[in-house]
Structure 1
Amino acid sequence: MTALKVKIAHGTPCWVSLLVRDLERAKAFYGPLLGWSFAPGPTELGGYVRASLHGAKVAGIGVAPAHSALPTEWTTYFAVDNADQASARVRECGGTVAVGPLQSGQAGRLAVSADLSGAFFGLWEGQEHLGWEVVAEPGAPVWSELVTKDEPLAAAFYGSVFGRAVVEADPSAVARGEEDATLQVEGHRVAGIKQTTDLRDGPPRWRIYFAVEDVDLTVRQCLGLGGALLVAAQDTPYGRVARLADPEGGRFSVVRLP
C-alpha cells in the first residue's frame, strides 16, 4: 500500500475526525480494531493525534473541550478551495458555522459547520496536510453518507454549498437499499445522502464507513475492546456492513467490500 499525497477536489470528503473525552482509551480501542498507529497532530488543536495505517494518514482523534455537552461523534470533512468562502456559502444557504474558519498551523485552514437539519460536517482547506492518504483499504475510510429525514432539502443544501451535482437515485436503487442521492464531483460519486425514519440512526448526521477484511470478526473485536454493536452485520448492495459504537458511544460503520 502506497500513501497518496495529492490535492483532493473541492466538495469531496477528505478527512474524518473524532473528539473524545479520553484520548488514551480511544487509541486503545481504534488502534487494535482498525490497525492504526498514532502520532501527534497540530498543537493548536489541543490534545490531538493523527491515526495512520501502515504509515498513511487516515483519521484524526482529539480531546473534546472541557464540559462539552456534545455527544462523541465522527465528523466528515470536505475539501474546499477556500475555507472562508465556503463558510460564507454555508451561511448563505441557511446553515451555521460553529467553529472557525481558523488556521491549524501549517497543516491547513478549517471550519466546522452544520446543515439545515443540524448535521455537523467540516470544511478543510489543505495546505501541508491535504487529507487522508489511503482509502478503501482495510482499516481506512471508504464512504461517508448523510442520514437525514429530509433528503431533498439536504441535496439542495450540499449541492449549493459546494457547487457540485447531486444526482437522485432511481426508485429501484432506493428499494435495494442504496442512497437516495449522491454528491458527485466530475461525474464521480463521492458521498451519499440517505433519507431515514429508523430510530436507530439517531439525529441527522454524517455516517462514516471503514473498510475491514472480516465484518463479523471486527464486531467480536469491537465488543471485546469495550465497544457496542448497534446494528447486526448484514449483506447490502455495497458489501457486508455492521454499525458499531466505541466505548464513549461514537458511532461508525464497518464494511467488507464486495
Structure 2
Amino acid sequence: TTHKLQARVVKVWDETKDARTLTLRPGLNWRGHRAGQHVRVGIPADGKHYTRTYTISSPPEREDDCFTITVKAIDKGTISHHIVRNIKVGDYLPIGLPQGDFYLPDAQPIQPLFITAGSGITPAFSMINSLIAQGRLPDTHHIHYAPHEFDVVLGKELKAMDRYNDRYHLHLIYSREGEDPSRNRFSAAQLDALCPDWKDRDVYACGPPSLLEAIEQCMTEAGCIRRLHVERFRAPFTEVPADAVGGRVRFAQSDVETDG
C-alpha cells in the first residue's frame, strides 16, 4: 500500500524459549535506520489493535531490504507473549519509521564498551554488526548478562561474532549460576577484571532498570559519567512518599478533570 506503512513477516525464529526474532519486509515508504534505533509496530490481538516499540536488531547494511525485531516475552506482557507465540509468516503489521537517538556517532568511537542484559542486547547487536559490515570495528568489549546460557538472546550469533572477529571481545555473565550467584552481579571490580581500561571507553548500556542504575552510579563515582550512553526500555518508577496526598488532575486534550 502507499497510504500507510506496513511490513510483511517473512521469517520467524525462536531465539530462546521466550524470545523470538521476526524478519520484516517493509513497504516502499520505509526509510533506512541507524543502528540502535527503534520502530513502532502495530499488533492486532483479540480483536483490538495495540502499538509497541521495539529496537531494530539487524544492521542497516542488510542487502535484502528487510529488518528484524527481537522480542522477549515479559511477565504479564500480553502483547509480547502474543508476538512470541502467535505471529506467523505472512502476517502484515503496521509499522512506523525508525526513531531514537541511541546510536553510534558518525565519527569512529574510541574503543566502545557495551553492557547489556536480557533483550537489551538488541541495540548493541545492531551497532556491532553494523561496524563489522562497514569494516571499521574498533577494539570492542561487550559484557552481557543472562540468567543461564540457554537464556542468552541472539546467543549463537554473539558467539560467532566473538569467534570470527579479533577485535570483538564477548564476556557472557550468567547471573543465576555458580555457588554464589551474587558474585555475578555488575560491579566496578567486575569491570576492572573484564575490561581494565573501561574508564577510557565510550560505554553503551541497555537493560533492566536495576542494571542501568548500578552502571550510572559506577560511572558517576569514577568521574566518567559523560562517557555513558543509555537506552531505557522502561521509565524508572518514582517512589510515592507515605504522606503523599492527591490533587485535581485535568487532561488538556479532552478537558476532563478528576481527583487523583
> Which of the pair has the greater relative contact order for Cα pairs under 8 Å at 6+ separation?
1
TM-score bracket for the superposition, by shorter chain length = under 0.3
Identify, as 1 or 2, the structure richer in strand: 1
Structure 1 length normalisation: TM-score?
0.26
Structure (1 or 2) with the larger CA radius of gyration: 2
Structure 2 length normalisation: TM-score?
0.26
Identify, as 1 or 2, the structure richer in helix: 2
